[in-house]
Amino acid sequence: MIGYIIRRLGAIVPTLLVGIFIAFTLTYFGPGDPIRVFLEQQGRLSEEAYEALRRQYGLDRPFLVQFGDYVTGLVRGTFGKSIWAGGRPIEVMIRRALPVSVQLGFVAFVITVGMGVPLGVFAALRQNSLVDYAIVSASVVLSSIPTFVLAPMLLILFVLVIPVLKNPIGWGGVFDARIVLPAFCIAVGPLMGIVRQARSAVLEVIRQDYVRTAYAKGLPRRMVIWRHIFRHILTPLLSVGVGLFGGILQGSIFVERVFNIPGYGALSFQSFVARDFPVILATTVVAAVIAMTLNLVLDVSYGLVDPRVRLGRRVEEV
């Protein structure tokens, strides 16, 4: 297992470098000049100020020199400086925004899995019944509602129609009641995937001989579900769950804007609107690192959950 992890880490480095080069190239040759846009918005556009800012941010250097400086900065743990934030270090901005999105994403992940897995298991155990059709249909309808429609609907419902929440806007941490609405908005989107995956996994497992044998021995239904069915559906649910968490982190942009949450999604959105290319590039690189890390965690988790995966890797090593 350790050798496999080392090989995967070795493969991540060149892949990440290629991704950084592509992102850097797109931002460098992309439309728009961030310095000119910034000075125009400030109302002090002049050739002297323009050239001075270009020199300050190193944008007057050749492309390969800028790329080399950027990679060197990444090795040192720096992402450069934000143009629109007055030269503020980008790593400081990310350190403040990313934990907020991680906390929000974790709560949304718990809601999605906490709702989706039991509903999927229950629907499978009641296959082709009215309950099964109702659960699948409801999850499809909820997952079909776009986030930019669901978020305003929930705000109108719980603030104006049913005034349960007086001030649902803002951020106060995981244990603040204001986290419920934005977390639910993010959780609803991938709900159908979890329900469908859990339902399919249970339907596949309950047809196995060891489940029929357990029932034939007279074991209670609850014991069969927990000991024989639920344990064997962890592997397919694990792949969906880890990928789901990564998608939740990257899919919270609109929700954070609507609920005024100072998270990673809001930072990415603001940088795109302001054409703050250093921040755009930094958020893209961090998102790529998160995605690769989650894929590595997923592969390692497969080996921990399923012994057949560990055996296959040992055969490959031999």
Note the pLDDT tens digit of each residue in 187-239.
888 888 888 888 888 888 887 787 788 878 787 877 877 777 777 777 666 66
The verdict on residue 285 lying in a domain is: no
Which pLDDT score is estimated for 240?
A: 67
Do both 104 and 179 map to the same domain?
yes
- 223 C-beta neighbours (distance < 10 Å), count: 10
The verdict on residue 315 lying in a domain is: no
| CA–CA distances in Å: residue 179 to residues 55, 104, 201, 250, 268 | 43, 7, 31, 17, 20
* Residue closest to 148 by CA, chosen among 251, 16, 56, 65: 251
**SS3 assignment, position 45:** coil
Instruction: Let me know if 143 is exposed, middle or buried by CB neighbors in 10 A (0-12, 13-18, 19+).
Output: middle
From 82, 112, 131, give the residue that closes a domain.
Answer: 82
CATH code where residue 251 lies: 1.10.3720.10
Which pLDDT score is estimated for 200?
A: 87
From 28, 57, 82, give the residue that closes a domain.
Answer: 82
H or E element in which residue 186 lies? helix 180-188
Do both 123 and 258 map to the same domain?
yes
The verdict on residue 238 lying in a domain is: yes
Between CA 137 and CA 101 the distance in angstroms is: 30
Name residue 89's beta-bridge partners: 81
Which pLDDT score is estimated for 160?
A: 80
The verdict on residue 64 lying in a domain is: yes
Do both 176 and 141 map to the same domain?
yes
Do both 48 and 116 map to the same domain?
no
Between CA 233 and CA 198 the distance in angstroms is: 7
H or E element in which residue 315 lies? helix 307-317
Extract the residue ranges of the chain whose pLDDT is less than 70. 1, 235-247, 249-251, 302-318
The verdict on residue 297 lying in a domain is: no
Print the domain residue range for 61. 2-82
Please give the tally of structural domains in the chain. Answer: 2
Do both 176 and 59 map to the same domain?
no
**SS3 assignment, position 235:** helix
Which pLDDT score is estimated for 275?
A: 82
The verdict on residue 284 lying in a domain is: no
Which pLDDT score is estimated for 318?
A: 46
**SS3 assignment, position 310:** helix
Do both 32 and 156 map to the same domain?
no
Name residue 81's beta-bridge partners: 89
Task: Kindly state the tokens that stand for 161.
Answer: 């129609």
